[in-house]
Amino acid sequence: MRGLLGRLGDVGLFAPPLIFLVGLALPALAQAGQIMLVPCVVVLLAMTVGLAEPGRILRSEWPPVLALSLCSLILTPIFVHVIAVGLGLGEAGGWLVLVAACPAAGGAALVASLLRLPVRPLLLAQLLCFFALPVTAPLIAWLVLEGAVIDPLALFGRVLLMVGGPALLGFLLRRALGEQRREHLARPMRGLGVLALCGIALSLAAGLPAGGVSAAGWNGAITGLVLASMVGAGLGLLAARMMDVRLAGAFTLGGAVRNVSLLWSATIGIASPEGELVMMLGTLWTILLPALLGLRGWWPERLARALAVAVLGVVLVGGGSPL
């Protein structure tokens, strides 16, 4: 079992997009997968904490972490809002700003671990942004979305359940294993994180809006998410260049891929069809981009096969949209 999970941790980041396609083909399975959303988010974050570098947090680590957090919480949403207004995206643009204000995704930490990039600064910035989310998300919704109200207390409860609890679990796991055993089990732990991403991907297939969104809405949502990812990546790279160039890869990755699943779970039932589409596609991006970036860590003989499946996945997903 350990060997299988280790293998999955090394070459399995492409599994979640495939599971998403399976969910599209089997709607009943995708509906059952929605039950797994919260447990999978918990497991993913716990494994992320377990994969972070050991040792005491130094004072010198905090300025880069705070810089990335500032980019995620303030600068990226401002730039994305300007882009959304410029493109005339309407209500979908408001939901794009919410996505832009989300923390770095757990999938980004998995890829950082796979590519031997620093994980701990990314994790610290992620946790800071998560605990700020009950303040920033309702404020952004109030400013840019008409009639969409996000309850800050309910969101704070979700943060405690889906972030605070898993972070504590991951910390206790590290203490129980010890650093030597944790290093030995890093590959299986990454494999458990990939399995959690698979569960999130399955629930995404059920969250795909069946109707109510025009082709222009799809086009605006996809275009906006790509631009938001580019803005986040650029600001993450800038923060690393200004603070510590060694963090450039990890911060660029963290800026490009955001953890939308927690906010998505909190907005189910209150979002418009355009908002549901943006939330779903934003979460889907958190499993697609790590899969593509994870190809760098795959063995050469698997690369051609992975690229072929990637093209097939894009074709199938594109064929299912009204674009």
Q: For 309-317, which contacts have Cβ atoms below 8 Å and span 24 or more sequence positions? A: 309/14, 309/18, 310/14, 310/17, 313/17, 313/18, 313/21, 316/21, 316/24, 317/20, 317/21, 317/24
Residue 110: what pLDDT? 73
Angle, alpha carbons 159-15-44 (nearest 5°): 20
CATH number, span 37-320 = 1.20.1530.20
For residue 234, is pLDDT > 70? Answer: yes
Mean pLDDT, rounded, for 169-194: 78
Q: Is 272 helix (H, G, I), strand (E, B) or coil?
A: coil
Least confident of 8-17, 123-132, 234-243, 289-298: 289-298
User: How does the average pLDDT of the chain come out, rounded?
Assistant: 77
Quick one: CA torsion of 89, 91, 93, 98, rounded to 10 degrees?
A: -170
Q: Are 278 and 209 in contact (CB under 8 A)?
A: no
pLDDT tens digits for 10-34? 666 677 888 888 888 888 787 777 7
Angle, alpha carbons 123-127-133 (nearest 5°): 140
Angle, alpha carbons 160-262-139 (nearest 5°): 85
In this predicted model, which residue has the larger pLDDT, 106 or 169? Answer: 169
Share of the chain above pLDDT 70, in %: 79
Both structure tokens of 278:
């943006």
Q: Are 34 and 304 in contact (CB under 8 A)?
A: no
